[in-house]
Chain A
Amino acid sequence: MDENVSRDYSDDEDVPKSGDWTERYRPESLEGVAGNAKAKNDLRAWAREWDSDTIPKNKAVILAGKPGVGKTTSAIALARDMGWEALEMNASDDRNKDAIRQFIGRSAVDDTFSAGGDFIPYKKGKRTLLILDEADNVFGNEDRGGIVEIKNTVQKTQQPMILIVNDYYGLKNRSKDLSQMLKKIDFKAVSVGDIVGLLKNICDEEGISADYFVLKSIAERAEGDVRSAVRDLQTVAAGRDKLVMDHLEVLGYRNREAEIFPTIRKILHDGDPLEARQSIRELDEEPRNLITWIEENLPREYRYPKELSGGFDYLSKADIYLGRVIHSNYYRFWAYSNDLMTAGVCSAKTGSHRGFNKYAFPTWIRKMFSSKGRRSIINRLSYKIAVNTHTTSLRAKSDILPYFSVLFSNDEEFRRTMVKEIKINPEEAAYLLDTKVRAKVVNELYREEKEEEVVTVVEKKKEEETEKKKKEEPEKQKTLFEF
């Protein structure tokens, strides 16, 4: 642990990485905003209404949600995606009152002002998005003037406007009129899975290798607040090239390994089944997670074939009870599952208990985490093949993909045809050829396409639009187990 601290200082000289990560990694496009798929779609749909020359019915939307879930980021990203100017103001700051009034006064005459105040005649001008952050602080003000001011602003504006609040109901109670003028878009807590994905991207970008388990701990603690997760990550990771569990202590994290390993030791090493059974009572861990830790470490301790096989037989039976819980919704079976995976596994050991064994974090979870990208490529590819061969993705994956990839590597003509006909993309081609996306062979495969592109710009554009629509279909929130 100490070696990392000293490295902090030495790194300072040649890598002057400064700045706030929550700013540096603020996504530039809505696409990159973590989570909240539905809210993002609603925002896009609203923004598109401004595309025509007429002013849409809902001139203003209100983004409601807890701090750090991406409201302001989404508003700014939206403006960028639409090619609009953005004028961001903190509504609670008195100094902004005049500026808002001035802006509205000018925009009301159908012309546009750039954020710098330059006059742009209507129709030549771009739209300007007015973002009023912390709008609920104005509503909270005893002086009712604030709320009237905002109402006027919404009524008069000829430009799109976004209000941002933490507490929507506070506003609704104070001014029903105003709440009726606004289209409400909810921002929800971002899932642990989505936050982990984002943190992983940042680590990759910063050249920090970080364990899945470490990132998950940070994400869980953030409770859906992306900003605080990124801030915590910067606190513990900046200047390091490897981030491990110990580093989180500075933030007051519990070290899960430190809690679980003593239990594992009781089960696999100490040889007292009743003690082993007792040991999981204090450990607040779901059986299906605990079994993964035991599964990982059992063969590290049980070296004789007989005890290895006996131990796994108990794990297998413990898992059958977990299955029965799922099939019957009868949770009492957990008790048997717990006994079998602790006392049962413990009793299968026959050899002497000498020596110290180093326990490990589950390889399985690590492997699933690091292979995320690869697995999603396989799935997409299987689906494309399935659609073109009248079968299902599952069957394509197991029965066709192995053959397909051999043909794809062996036969250039086949390769070119498939790229055209079933739209194999460069990422998928690289997977099939077992190489990198930047490899020459992949590049060559798509060179012709690029040349054709010039001729068929119009068609491409249409295609992009349909692609765009597809992307906007709401994505599911990721759960942890999708990693």
Chain B
Amino acid sequence: MNSIWTEKYRPMKLDEVYGQERIIERLKAYAEQGNIPHLLFAGPAGTGKTTSALALSKELYGDNWKHNFFELNASDERGIEVIRKKIKEYARTTTLSVEGFKVIFLDEADSLTSEAQAALRRTMEKYSSNCRFILSCNYSSKIIDPIQSRCAVFRFRYISKEGVTDWINHIAEGEELTITEDAINLLVQISEGDLRKATNLLQISASTTDSIDEEVVRQSANIAKPGDIEKMINTAMEGDFMESRGQLYDLFVDYGLSGNDIIRQIHKSIYNIPMDNERKMKLVDRIGEAEFRMVQGSNERIQLEALLAHISKDFAKR
């Protein structure tokens, strides 16, 4: 085992993409025509947005795809000016392909502010004679209307249980692993339709043994958690606020998580905590309120602390 499986098994052709049949059918039609409009891929992580963009380009350009495909990550570039400059530099170089256009893939376009998106829109227009943009985002509603109206929008859904199962079997075959049905079911359950997560978890499980059962998957999922959110919530419920606050600080600092990551995982984790359903829903309401305040406020840490304090009062274990 010597590579990252998400890369090793990343589909090269549109036909090999799992779980997004309808979208793939449309994209194949584009590839056959040899032309594409601007595209907007919206959907959760690990559902094939980047893979589809890469595969589409490979089919459009064949071996030359690397010269005609340019990948940018909106959240890693330092602001819209840097993005525009890079696009400008890339768009300027002449097109070699017979198609007459090049593809610019902009990941996490929804991390741009609406002002930055407006600037991006002008850039898209300026270079539309020889460039096609593929934007990817988690929520299409965070993309401004003028951009949406210029793009063909594709909504990527979570991969179905069957889709994830097929994918796991596909890798297991390639790596000559034996894996029990229970183990596959648990992988499907934990990964929640996110193929990247399923692949990573499978690779970790396989790094300890060639024959994977449910227990191996369970242990792997436990060690690969980015910090222990459940423990923090439990500590707050036991009434030790100071300790749970210390754990919160650790999540921020030692694990480098953002407030957003943390609240998202708090939300997920409460379904693992034994509690009657009515109280659980009250807690969901309070978690949602905390996230709302995080968006409105200036300091995620204080909002999360307020949530922990609230949990230690209203959701104390008796």
Residues of A in contact with B (beta carbons under 8 Å apart): 288, 291, 295, 299, 305-306, 308-309, 311-313, 315-316, 319-320, 322-327, 363-364, 367-368, 371, 374-375, 378-379, 382-383, 386, 388-395, 397-404, 406-407, 410-411, 413-414, 416-417, 421
Q: Are A319 and B298 in contact (CB under 8 A)?
A: yes
Q: Which B residues are in CB contact (< 8 Å) with A315?
A: 302, 305-306
**8 Å CB contact of A305 from B2, B71, B253, B313:** B313
Mask: chain B, 45-67; 1 = CB below 8 Å from A; 0 = not? 11000100010000000000000
Q: Across the two chains, which residue of chain A brings its CB closest to B311?
A: A309
**8 Å CB contact of B208 from A299, A319, A326, A410:** A410
Q: Which A residues are in CB contact (< 8 Å) with B298?
A: 288, 319, 322-323, 325-326
Q: Are B73 and A392 in contact (CB under 8 A)?
A: yes
B302 to chain A, nearest CB (A): 5
Our count of residue pairs bridging A and B at CB distance below 8 angstroms stands at 161
Interface size class of B (residues with CB under 8 A): 35 or more
Complex-state Cα separation, A308 to B299, whole angstroms: 18
Q: Which A residues are in CB contact (< 8 Å) with B245?
A: 299
Q: Which A residues are in CB contact (< 8 Å) with B111?
A: 392
Q: Which B residues are in CB contact (< 8 Å) with A386?
A: 73, 76
Q: Are B299 and A371 in contact (CB under 8 A)?
A: no
A327 to chain B, nearest CB (A): 8
Mask: chain B, 271-309; 1 = CB below 8 Å from A; 0 = not? 000000000000000000000010011110111011001
Q: Are A398 and B299 in contact (CB under 8 A)?
A: no
Q: Which A residues are in CB contact (< 8 Å) with B76?
A: 383, 386, 392-393
**8 Å CB contact of B225 from A322, A393, A402:** A402
Binds A, one of B22-30, B146-154, B196-204: B196-204
**8 Å CB contact of A309 from B50, B296, B310:** B310
A403-B204, A406-B204 known; A391+B302 contact, CB < 8 A: no
Which of B201, B241, B257 gathers most chain A CB within 10 Å?
B241
Q: A394-B75, A400-B196, A416-B2 are in contact. List 10 more A-B contacts (CB 8 A).
A: A295-B301, A306-B313, A308-B241, A363-B249, A391-B107, A398-B257, A398-B261, A401-B226, A406-B207, A407-B207
A66 to chain B, nearest CB (A): 29
Complex-state Cα separation, A367 to B246, whole angstroms: 10
A308-B309, A312-B305 known; A417+B223 contact, CB < 8 A: no
A308-B241, A398-B226 known; A319+B303 contact, CB < 8 A: yes
Complex-state Cα separation, A458 to B197, whole angstroms: 41
Question: Would you call the interface of chain A mostly helix, strand, loop, or mixed?
Answer: helix
A322-B299, A389-B4, A394-B258 known; A399+B45 contact, CB < 8 A: yes
Mask: chain B, 186-204; 1 = CB below 8 Å from A; 0 = not? 0000000000110011011
Q: Are B73 and A391 in contact (CB under 8 A)?
A: yes
Which of A299, A308, A378, A398 gathers most chain B CB within 10 Å?
A398
Sampled A-B contacts (16; CB under 8 Å): A288-B299, A295-B302, A299-B245, A312-B310, A319-B297, A320-B296, A320-B297, A322-B297, A378-B256, A388-B4, A392-B76, A397-B256, A400-B200, A403-B201, A406-B207, A414-B1
Q: Which B residues are in CB contact (< 8 Å) with A391?
A: 50, 73, 107
Q: Which B residues are in CB contact (< 8 Å) with A394?
A: 75, 108, 258
Residues of B in contact with A (beta carbons under 8 Å apart): 1-4, 6-7, 10, 45-46, 50, 54, 71, 73-76, 107-108, 111, 196-197, 200-201, 203-204, 207-208, 220, 223-226, 239, 241-242, 245-246, 249, 253-254, 256-258, 261, 293, 296-299, 301-303, 305-306, 309-310, 312-314, 316
Complex-state Cα separation, A255 to B204, whole angstroms: 52
A299-B242, A313-B310, A388-B4 known; A407+B204 contact, CB < 8 A: yes
B94 to chain A, nearest CB (A): 26
Q: Which A residues are in CB contact (< 8 Å) with B73?
A: 386, 391-393
Complex-state Cα separation, A382 to B261, whole angstroms: 15
Q: Are A392 and B312 in contact (CB under 8 A)?
A: no
Complex-state Cα separation, A399 to B201, whole angstroms: 11
Q: Are A291 and B257 in contact (CB under 8 A)?
A: no
B111 to chain A, nearest CB (A): 8
Q: Are B6 and A312 in contact (CB under 8 A)?
A: no
**8 Å CB contact of A367 from B74, B253, B296:** B253
B204 to chain A, nearest CB (A): 5
**8 Å CB contact of A393 from B75, B246, B293, B302:** B75
Q: Are A375 and B256 in contact (CB under 8 A)?
A: yes
Complex-state Cα separation, A400 to B45, whole angstroms: 12
Q: Across the two chains, which residue of chain B brings its CB closest to A300?
A: B242
**8 Å CB contact of B256 from A311, A320, A327, A382:** A382
